[in-house]
A and B are shown apart, each in its own frame.
Chain A
Amino acid sequence: MSDEEEILIEAKNLKKYFPIKSGMFSSAKAHVRAVDGVDFKIKRGEVFGVVGESGCGKTTLGRLILRLIPITEGTIHYLGSNIQNMRNAELRRKMQIVFQDPGGSMNPRMSVRSIIGEPLIVNGLADGAELTKKVGELLEIVGLKSNHMTRFPHEFSGGQKQRIALARALSLDPEFILLDEPTSALDVSVQAQVLNLLQAIQKERSLTFVFIAHDLAVVRHISDRVAVMYLGKIVEMADADEIYNNPKHAYTKALISAIPKPDPSSVVDREVLSGDVPSPVNPPPGCAFGHRVNHPKYPDSINVDLSLVEVAPNHWVQPCPCCTEI
């Protein structure tokens, strides 16, 4: 990470616990530790991938960055200012999000024009004919026709809907877009188109992306750097090629081995993970992954500080005695 590059987003010891309540008088009895102490920095203009299996907290992390849910502990700074203290309107203009489910993220009773134009209307940037013009332009940027704006979401295919969602995110001309599994609900053929569009737009407008996915192959394709999350924690973080070619953490290795190979003859010894993901309500102490695979050295990890360490330039990994080869 060179110093002259500008840090756009910096998260420090980020935590999000969801209380489990059971009744009107009782206070929270337990917490779901969705995000449990995460640190990272995102440079301006880079694509930062976050991978992990379902329930690992990557979507919650995205919501936290966008301030869509309050932070339990820790801070997020945007260009040096704490997002907690930023004005809502300012924040929304700079950071946008594209959701996983393209259909669900659009109000079925609104026309495409209203959907894409909503950010402009609520932020008082455009209305009336000006809005129509801007929406038309945005539609053409994402590869749709401007006369599509009178239609309703259900008249579009999944890929088209995701383009509309992208247009909505672009409408405020943000600096940063969070892509929350933008392609996982799409057919593989459409996935590639959308990914290429995303890449093109990112290059053209020099945007900063956080790309959340559970599919390492997709993340590698688009990301500059990748963070692997497991049970609310980042276990490994490095440049995309580095993490792919030289994974250190056992969980990362398992994920990489799960990527299908295009050559059917190549025999891969695929690591099949045993055990279930531990409950985030009462996560095991120490290395959660070691606990899951019932690693013989798991007990050693309980009393070790598991903060990320830099094992190679820009390659950070959890110094876990059971799962990490350093």
Chain B
Amino acid sequence: MNTSEFIVRRILLLIPVMIGVTVFTFAIAQIIPADPAAILCGERCGLVDPVTGKTMLELQRERLGLDEPVIEQFRLYLINLAEGDWGESTTYNRPTSDVVRDAAPVTLEMALFALLMAYPIGITLGILSAVWQDQVFDHISRFLAIAFVSLPIFWLAMMLQLVFGTGTDVGGICDPIFGTEGGCFPIYGRHDAALTYPDRSSSLCDTAITGIACYPSWYPSGGTGFHLVDSWFVTDEALDNINPEYASNYKLFDDTLVHLILPSFTLGIASAGSLLRYMRASLLEVMNEDYVRTARAKGLSESRVIIVHACRNALVPILTILGFSIGGAIGGAVLTESIFAFYGMGNVAVDAIINLDYSVLMGVTLITAIIFLMSNLIVDILYGVVDPRVRLE
């Protein structure tokens, strides 16, 4: 099987899963005890339309297709999904696709940055742990690995806020290290309160009103939503119109980064724990292989044996858990977002449940599924490229 055929097959395999997920979200929306029509028309539900002789409630139901049989509703739902119409949010009074479009990059940025922090930590500790197997370091790091996955993420977040957060800095640990005063990392929000970041949600970037283009013409309008990247592309024109304290690409980036470190670190800890375990196990297995023994027998230095021969092969299986860790990080983001006041998918989902905003809930479930499946697809393809045996199956 060649690579392109392999990729096509992998994509085809996703289709039934995606259909399953839509059935699933639809089923949940059916069970949720809320009448979206009643929420949309509110107090005017009882009013009778003089032309049709129907109440507003009935008209809303008709408009939303709620008077159709369930199968028909599902068909409509699928067609609308395909056309990009994800429904109307009853809490935000905006299209669900917009709500999700704004929230998804926030979570994704946090999750990816978390993995960026978790991988070096987990892999390094895993390698050292395997190299010094059954020594003190190994015992400590194995304990740490288990401890990392045992910590409640919301609690860890608050403890980190306590120790490193601006204004809290218990015990003054942070200041001497980072040379700051009164703590080093802000504990709330994606940006300082004084900064209105030029993105889709800011009125500054509404070209129709202000006439200012926040991003170059080739760039997605309103930015990608990943502020770590967007920061470098904000146009000078836009920079002139924001708080002068932040008016440079670097300062925007710095502000984003500083706000992202604590939430991402919190999120990354659990991933680092499981990575450590996998890396250790994988490396130990590889170290018992004949080719590593041969390398040793050839008289290569131990460090060369480990780095060149063992680690390279041990890292391949680690790739597979990358996809899963993205899913785990997105799940965990539900909790960190609420603590660090990031307005990502987690917060949106929780709000949706509290307000029984079923279309947003469906949207969030669907988008997380898409992200998860896509990341697994990419990992699978990478794996197929790195390890040709996989393609044969």
Contact = CB atoms under 8 A, between A and B. Distances in A.
B75 interface: no
Contacts of B9: 23
B245 interface: no
Interface string A1-45: 000000000000000000000110000000000000000000000
B393 interface: yes
Contacts of B393: 22-23
4 contacts: A22-B1, A22-B393, A23-B9, A23-B393
A23 B9 CA distance: 10
B13 to A, nearest CB: 8
Interface of B: 1, 9, 393
A23 B5 CA distance: 13
Interface in A54-102: none
Nearest to A26: B9
A22 B393 CA distance: 7
Contacts of A23: 9, 393
Nearest to B392: A22
Contacts of A22: 1, 393
| Nearest 4 A/B pairs, CB to CB | A22-B393, A23-B9, A23-B393, A22-B1
B388 to A, nearest CB: 15
A184 to B, nearest CB: 25
B71 to A, nearest CB: 26
A313 B123 CA distance: 71
A22 B1 CA distance: 11
A19 to B, nearest CB: 15
B74 to A, nearest CB: 24
Nearest to A24: B13
Nearest to B1: A22
A23 B1 CA distance: 12
B306 to A, nearest CB: 35
B9 to A, nearest CB: 7
A160 B276 CA distance: 45
B37 to A, nearest CB: 41
Contacts of B1: 22
Nearest to A25: B12
A76 B125 CA distance: 61
A24 to B, nearest CB: 8
A258 to B, nearest CB: 27
B6 to A, nearest CB: 11
B384 to A, nearest CB: 14
B391 to A, nearest CB: 10
Nearest to A21: B393
Nearest to B12: A25
B127 to A, nearest CB: 36
B24 to A, nearest CB: 20
A9 B69 CA distance: 64
A22 B390 CA distance: 12
B284 to A, nearest CB: 27
A260 B216 CA distance: 83
A172 to B, nearest CB: 41
A86 to B, nearest CB: 38
Nearest to A23: B9
A32 to B, nearest CB: 15
A23 B392 CA distance: 11
A22 B5 CA distance: 13
Nearest to A22: B393
A25 B393 CA distance: 15
B390 to A, nearest CB: 13
B19 to A, nearest CB: 15
A188 to B, nearest CB: 28
B144 to A, nearest CB: 36
A26 to B, nearest CB: 10
A30 to B, nearest CB: 13
A28 to B, nearest CB: 14
Interface in A97-148: none
A181 to B, nearest CB: 27
A247 to B, nearest CB: 38
B335 to A, nearest CB: 37
B201 to A, nearest CB: 44
A22 B392 CA distance: 9
A179 B247 CA distance: 85
B8 to A, nearest CB: 12
B83 to A, nearest CB: 29
A23 to B, nearest CB: 7
Interface in A155-182: none
A135 B393 CA distance: 46
A255 to B, nearest CB: 30
B128 to A, nearest CB: 38
A22 B6 CA distance: 12
A22 B9 CA distance: 11
A282 to B, nearest CB: 16
A270 B118 CA distance: 61
A27 to B, nearest CB: 15
B22 to A, nearest CB: 20
Nearest to B16: A24
A279 to B, nearest CB: 14
A198 B1 CA distance: 50
A283 B360 CA distance: 59
A24 B139 CA distance: 44
B138 to A, nearest CB: 31
A23 B393 CA distance: 9
B325 to A, nearest CB: 27
B259 to A, nearest CB: 46
